[in-house]
Amino acid sequence: EAQVTQNPRYLITVTGKKLTVTCSQNMNHEYMSWYRQDPGLGLRQIYYSMNVEVTDKGDVPEGYKVSRKEKRNFPLILESPSPNQTSLYFCASSPRLAGGYFQETQYFGPGTRLLVL
């Protein structure tokens, strides 16, 4: 089944304790992205990647890192989490189409709910 998976789905941690949220897609998509969802703010893009070893900042990158060593995986790293990073995180992916552009419709993972105490 074509899908985007995230792990863990729920995480409670403490301030300053490094954590990684994994994202994996089995659709061979070039484009992957991380969003955070906060009440009243919708979803905001954190980082995105257009291909292996190609990453760039979104709108709210502070406090986050990403890496794209393999096409299928795009982990989100919080080196020193803080309470303001308590949020619901979504990973998304889309393929590159003929002509080099990315498909406009993105596929979303199930979300990771993070609580930083």
Partner 1 sequence: AQSVSQHNHHVILSEAASLELGCNYSYGGTVNLFWYVQYPGQHLQLLLKYFSGDPLVKGIKGFEAEFIKSKFSFNLRKPSVQWSDTAEYFCAVNAPRSSNTGKLIFGQGTTLQVKP
Residues within the interface to partner 1 (CB under 8 A):
31, 33, 35, 37, 40-45, 48, 50, 56, 58-59, 90, 92, 94, 97, 99, 101-102, 104-106, 108-111
- What are the structure tokens assigned to 1, written together? 């089944």
Of 21, 40, 33, 43, residue with least CA distance to 114: 21
The identity of residue 77, as a single letter, is I
Q: Which is nearer to partner 1, 12 or 14 (CB)?
A: 12
Q: Which residue stretches of the chain are H helix?
A: none
CB of 18 to partner 1, least distance (A): 26
CB of 110 to partner 1, least distance (A): 4
CB of 44 to partner 1, least distance (A): 7
Q: Coil, helix or strand for 115?
A: strand
